[in-house]
Structure 1
Amino acid sequence: MPLTGWGAPGRAILPICVLALGPLGAVIRFTRTETLEVLAADYVRTARAKGLPSRQVLGRHVLRNALLPALTLAGPLLAHLLTGSFFVETIFNIPGVGAAFVYAAADRDYPLIMAGALLAGGLVVVLNLLVDMAYGLLDPRMRVTHIG
């Protein structure tokens, strides 16, 4: 596999693996742990005792409740993934915004360094907002109601 450059689909395999495998493993492990915990809950046993199909129990009761903690973990991990691409672009010689920010640090280009920090901080804020909004889709108890 080619180690540097960009353009051909084969050149994207290593950078994608470097960026995705660590966070993917963490989310999968966390989801598995939460799923096993939810499977042992009383309401899952009650749903099975009522005669609900296994697919409906797993989809409606187990997975919805197991995804909430994994979603909490996935938001900051996605922000880390996007900002971590700065160094992956530099290592694999991929022309991009991340490589420009790393080169700006080496050249002491302070306005560009501040823009990179602002971009990284903005990504964390926006992704945490999206995670909070997704909670309402997964758990109806967390929906916002208007008082008035």
Structure 2
Amino acid sequence: MRSAFTAAAVLVAATLLAGCGSGTTDGDKTNGGKVTASQSASPTAGAGGEKHTVTLAVTGSGTAKIGYNLASNAFETHKLPWTKTETLELTGAELRVGHLVSVVPGPVPAGDGMLKTAACVIKVDGKQVADNNGGKSPKPCEFLLK
């Protein structure tokens, strides 16, 4: 029980700190964790800004606490596998400094009965831009969308 509580507390702290990060993680795949209009598969420029479709995914079996920062933010329990897709429109300062998207997967049972971090992935306009190495990295998945 204590380890589950500790893991949940770490996940909450990581979610809160994710907004303070540089936007780069070991799992980032492009341009230091940044996507630009020329790199994304199909951004849509609206009258007020640039739109991107962002998908967060956590894989595994059973249920896990998942914290995420997208157009909306939440920390909830979900049945796995789980995905959340939202369209983000970057406007004003977000076009220059970016918008941090992140997903913090909670622990899931491993084959040996121990708990391990669930695997997470972030896709922007259909292109994978961040992951946590199939759950082998304890870091959350995060990406600075520009």
Same fold (TM over 0.5): no
Greater share of strand: 2
TM superposition score normalised by structure 2 = 0.28
Structure number with the bigger relative contact order (C-alpha 8 A, sep ≥ 6) is 2
Greater share of helix: 1
Structure with the greater alpha carbon radius of gyration? 1
TM superposition score normalised by structure 1 = 0.28
